[in-house]
Amino acid sequence: MSALESYALESLVATHAVCRAAIYTQEVFHSLVKGTVSKDDRSPVTIGDFGAQALIIAAIRHNFPDDEIAGEEESSLLRSNSELRDKVWKLVSRVHLSNPEEDLLLGGPLKSADAMLDAIDGGKSAGGNKGRLWALDPIDGTLGFLRGGQYAVCLALIQDGEVVVGVMGCPNLPIDKTTPIINSGIGRDVQSNDGLGIVVSAIAGRGVTARPLTGENRTEEQPIQMRMLSSLADASFCEGIEAAHSSHNQQKAIADKLGIIAPPVQLDSASKYVSIARGSADIYLRLPKTLGYEEKIWDHAAGYLITREAGGEVTDAIGKKLDFGKGRTLVMNKGIVAAPKAIHGKVLEAVRAVRGI
């Protein structure tokens, strides 16, 4: 078996695990169980975060018990708050995939609330550049999730510091990439999820595919790739709705320097990687406002591989390769520049000029 073929099972397990977790998050939202608490960094945490992490870690443990996992959440809050724990368990205990064989591959339903808590706590790896490490963000874009907008379930396998499998579930992205993106009210004001929800899977060296999250066509994978641009002026940026983590003003200056006049495509979360990978936009920049800010590996590992396998390049703001082997953060990197390979160099030049680096 070749090195590339050896990740087929990992990709399959990751894809089904992300699908199950994404369906769970939809159930959480539609059940209006959106109680939130605060983390130290003040970002919202939802019932969806805890349950999605438990479901995915349980699936990884069932199939790859020796692998390490770096996940965003831990269970101390649930262990001290029985009411919140019971809300999460009630929803986790009833989620399943429509195909029983896929559920069986993941180890079936979790056995108890205690098993759920133990699974959540299975994501405490310190990371590093040796061996196999799964990087998991159960809900990236929590504000988007809470407003009924865009969010993503992100999972990647990192082997000896290199990302080899990347899967992202985007429950509210349109299946048709030409359909306008909705950034609020899905499941509340927008009454139907019809036409929404995709899962994107990549294996290093083997390309990237997308498929519907649910429905009768959910097994139909289609390859995706970035747009072929005849001119840099035809490009468009993808940017977050909130400006808390990246400078919109700097991005506007970079767009002006490149001669890009198209308005940016706005959406929450790491789903921006998926949007540029399938050609809904072309360039994604993350330019931290805070000098000492360190990106988390689980926020970028899956999107990094998906973008590269779709024909893009992803570096930091000075052109360095992203280093996923230095722990739980991208401590060696500052900022993110993702774009088609053909224009990445020019985008990087503009970024460095505007930021004075």
From the list 25, 49, 140, 315, the catalytic residue is 49
CA 307 distance to own-chain centroid: 12
The full DSSP string for 161-203 is TEEEEEEEEEEEEESSTTSPPP-S-BTTTB---TTEEEEEEEE
Distance between CA atoms of 190 and 184, rounded to whole angstroms? Answer: 8
Do 122 and 134 touch, CB atoms closer than 8 A?
no
SS3 of 286, please?
strand
Residue 214 annotated among the catalytic residues of the structure = no
Burial status of residue 193 (CB atoms within 10 A of its CB: 0-12, 13-18, 19 or more):
middle
Q: Which of 15, 25, 142, 307 is catalytic?
A: 142
Catalytic: 66? Answer: no
Mention every residue, 6+ apart, whose C-beta is less than 8 A from residue 335: 285, 286, 287, 288, 316, 317, 318, 351
DSSP state of 322: P
Report d(CA 97, CA 103) in Å as an integer: 6
- Among 315, 312, 305, 309, CA closest to 285: 315
What is the token pair recorded at 81?
């708050």
Supply the residues annotated as catalytic: 49, 142
